[in-house]
Amino acid sequence: MRIGLLVVGHVDEASLGVAGDYPGLFGALLAAHDVELVEYDIGAGHLPDSTSECDGWLCSPSRSSVYDDLAWIADVEQFLRDVIATEHPYVGICFGHQLLARALGATVARYPDGWQVGAQTYELVQHLAWMDPPLTRATLIASHQDQVINLPDGAELLARAVNGNCRIAGFTLGERAWTLQAHPEFVAPLADHLLARRVELIGADKVAAARASLTAPLDRLTVGGWIARFFAMA
């Protein structure tokens, strides 16, 4: 499967030496599966010419917000609307989750309680064929201030944080698209390195709790399998 990776952001340059940038992170996540990632550096102006260039589409996280005044954001929003209209498979992670929601008319905004970071546990409220092995809960690394406030038309809730701090942590749109707020591509050493550099930004107490949480077992490889299986079945 040739899956187009829409690279809409990059790992903080100071942390690149820990586990690489998003193409490497997703490549490692999907290494056990028959997936060829085709990288599109959106910030460098490399938007796909057609939704048919690849068998499916995966949108990376970003340090930008989906409501930032950046010219490329509108271009990617339109591309995602075209992906949905042409029924090509799509998976959106973090920014990619928020961007699809916003592209389809939903609201994305800053969460009043600030950053959600560290290992977080999510309740899965749908159980679909590609979610094999199935989980009722998944623990993944989170790193975000913004959240999807309401589901776009036609979407169904997929995941929500068990602590109540992320009410829409994932959604499905028909059988061809799904999203997650959390980062299955993140490994604990990378998250720890990023957190250590963001104490002033996030707050010392929240960073300390998040770093301590990173000893929890993660379900990232299971979710990586879901991503590959979804593209194979879509």
Q: What is the pLDDT of residue 29?
A: 98
Tell me the residue type at 136: T
| Backbone CA torsion sign across 126, 130, 133, 137 | negative
Q: Which range marks the domain in which residue 55 is found?
A: 2-233
Angle of helix 188-196 versus helix 204-213 axis, rounded to 10: 170
Q: 17 Cβ partners below 8 Å, 6+ apart? A: none
pLDDT band at 232 (very low <50, low <70, confident <90, very high): very high
Tokens of 95: 């920014």
Strands (DSSP E) along 55-150, which ranges? 56-59, 90-93, 108-110, 116-124, 137-144, 146-148
Q: What CA dihedral angle connects 37, 42, 45 and 49, to 10 degrees?
A: 50
For residue 46, how many other CB atoms are within 10 A of its CB?
A: 11
pLDDT band at 162 (very low <50, low <70, confident <90, very high): very high
38-68: pLDDT as tens digits: 999 998 899 999 999 999 999 999 999 999 9
Closest CA to 4 of 51, 43, 45, 44: 51
Q: What is the pLDDT of residue 19?
A: 98
Instruction: Record the pTM.
Output: 0.97
* Helix-strand-coil split of the chain, %, nearest 5: 35, 25, 40
Rounded Cα gap, residues 28 and 25, in angstroms: 5
Closest CA to 186 of 215, 154, 220, 158: 220
19-43: pLDDT as tens digits: 999 999 999 999 999 999 999 999 8
| Backbone CA torsion sign across 61, 66, 70, 74 | positive
Question: Contact at 8 Å (CB) between 161 and 116?
Answer: yes
How many separate domains does the chain show? 1
| Helix (H/G/I), strand (E/B), else coil: 158 | strand
Query: Which CATH number characterizes residue 95's domain?
Result: 3.40.50.880
Closest CA to 113 of 142, 154, 73: 142
Question: Contact at 8 Å (CB) between 62 and 8?
Answer: yes
H-helix or E-strand containing 99?
helix 95-103
